[in-house]
Structure 1
Amino acid sequence: MKNLGSLLMIGAALTFACGGPSEQTAESTEIEVEESEWRNLFDGNTFEGWKKYGGGEVGNAWKIENGNLYLDAANKDNWEPGDAGDIVTVDEFENFHFQLEWKIAKDGNSGIIFLVHESEEYSYPWMTGLEMQILDNDGHPDAKIVSHRAGDLYDLIESSEETVKPIGEWNLAEIIVNNGELELHLNGVMVVSTSLWTPEWEEMVASSKFKDMPGFAKYRKGKIALQDHGDEVWFRNIRVKEL
């Protein structure tokens, strides 16, 4: 009995030290709950939940292959009118955490535009929405301009450090908007942090290329757009969590 008691005590100590069943279950439940808060915006097979900016179905220049959504710009000489153009989510988001993975072709340019207000008044998403830049920093001429490089808040704030991967490799981009606070993350690093709609923000916009666009960054709820800049770009694992 003495030996059995000792074994039981050792077993209990090991269970406690290793995080017993109740602790492991609680941790697993927490992970499951966190994952359940995410909503996939791309099912890997269809354009459900997406549309062409300005109206209509996603154009034929956008394609889906192997679970990736991509702009088939390599064949743009064969595009028909209406095939291309920026695409946007059907739904709008206000406070959210958005994620996707992207990769860009050599010398390529694209972007993720958010808080987009879609109306006949604005011809393009960038006339209202803010953009997280997607770029081949080593090949595209825009990379010579401060705040036009991959991960930057386009034409407003340059990244605190450069974390972009070489062309052809996947990058994890994250955009967090919560009660006027904005963060941009690229490959696990927060590269931009700022407060929206403050006097300092308005002053910064007034010094940018958006200064003559009355609708730019005025909408606190909007759609998310993937930009057609005429270059090949790929996206996958697109999801959002509303905050």
Structure 2
Amino acid sequence: MRAASFHPCRRAAAVRAGVLAGGVLAAAVALAHDPSADPEKTEAWTPVPPVVATPVGAAPSDAVVLFDGSGLAAWESERGGDAPWKVADGAMTVVPGTGGIRTRRDFCDIQLHIEWRTPAGTRGFDGQDRGNSGIFLQERYELQVLDSYDNPTYANGQAASIYKQAIPLVNASRPPGEWQAYDIIWKAPRFSDGGGLLAPARITVLHNGVLVQDDTVIAGTTEYRGAPSYAPHGCAPIYLQDHGSEVSFRNIWVRELQAR
């Protein structure tokens, strides 16, 4: 009977496996005796993150509450003076023709939560005429508010678009008359002392809990006509637009983020 032969390829594979196993064992032994492999060497105890309370249905404990349904003290008219919008049933609603409103405080990098609702009655309205408003970060960069539920329009002008710049990843819109939410991470643009752009603004947005803008780079200020561009500026208010529709807002709060 012929003795079984060991194929050269199998022999080479066995040799390689033996070498690999030996190498892994040697590395494990070396790590066991290496004082730098002590798990405590890779533990960071400082800085200790501050505690933020997150009560259900309420703003985080470190948030600036901009609207809780009780009044518009944190807002002013774009034309100067008190904000002229209507407050009822825990919501504030655009009064068409009175102009937009803006926060009395300026903001740079923020986390912003804001809930909004377009009018339930849509007969005779479509496209950009249906539930149109906008949230302007630093008064210059618009995140579109629009009734985009079964309402075709240009994609970079629908709800959750960076108006005329960035199309949302998906359309997460609810029907008109239902409350919706944006959760926004905003990183303000950086400018040099001479006014040059060091870093463009960036935005991440969740619409009704769904990611729709993923660290999107902002090309510049929002423009209805023409190309966006940058001009140096500092922190600035959050601005809500009057676009002729009775859009409502509620539960607005902001957390100021520390630059890293």
Per the TM superposition, whether the score is higher than 0.5 is: yes
Residue identity over aligned pairs, in percent, reads 29
Q: Identify the residue that residue 227 of structure 1 maps to in structure 2.
A: 241
Q: What is the 5 A alignment of 1:89-168? A: 89-105=103-119, 106=122, 107-116=130-139, 129-138=140-149, 143-168=152-177
CA distance in 1, matches of 2:239, 2:93: 13
Superposed CA deviations along residues 43-94 of structure 1, whole A, max 9, x for unmatched, are 31221010011422212xx100011011244xxxxxxxxx600000000111
1:88 aligns with: 102
Gaps (5+ residues) in structure 1?
A: 1-28, 74-82, 117-128
SS state at 1:167 partner:
coil
SS where residue 56 of structure 1 aligns? coil
Aligned CA distance change for structure 1 residues 171 and 207 (closer, same or farther; 3 Å): closer
Partners of 1:206 and 1:171 lie apart in 2 by 23
Contact 1:97 1:174 survives alignment (8 Å): yes
Distance 2:142 2:83 in 1: 20
Q: Which has the larger radius of gyration?
A: 2
Residue type at the aligned position of 2:207 = L
* Paired letter, 2:144: Q
Q: In structure 2, what is the equivalent of residue 40 of structure 1? A: 65
More helix per residue: 1
Structure 2 residue aligned with 1:182: 203
Matched-pair contact (CA < 8 Å) for 2:142–2:222: no
Gaps of 5+ in 2: 1-50, 123-129, 189-200
Q: 1:115, 1:219 within 8 Å by CA — same for their partners in 2? A: no
CA distance in structure 1 between the partners assigned to 2:66 and 2:248 by the alignment: 15
Are residues 238 and 145 of structure 1, via their aligned partners in 2, closer, same or farther at CA, if it must alter by over 3 Å? Answer: same
2-structure distance, mates of 1:41, 1:206 = 23
Number of aligned positions between the proteins: 183
Q: What CA distance in whole angstroms lies between the structure 2 residues aligned with 1:32 and 1:163?
A: 25
What per-residue deviation string (whole Å, max 9, x for no partner) do you get for residues 147-166 of structure 1?
A: 10011111100100110111
Residue of structure 2 aligned with 1:209, choices 201, 225, 239: 225
RMSD: 2.8
Aligned equivalents of 1:42, 1:109: Cα separation in 2:
20
Q: CA deviation at 1:137?
A: 2.0
Higher RCO, 1 vs 2 (CA within 8 Å, ≥6 residues apart): 1
* TM-score normalised by structure 2 residue count: 0.62
Q: 1:43 to 1:30 in 2, by over 3 A?
A: closer
For the residues of structure 2 that align with 1:176 and 1:212, how far apart are their CA atoms? 21
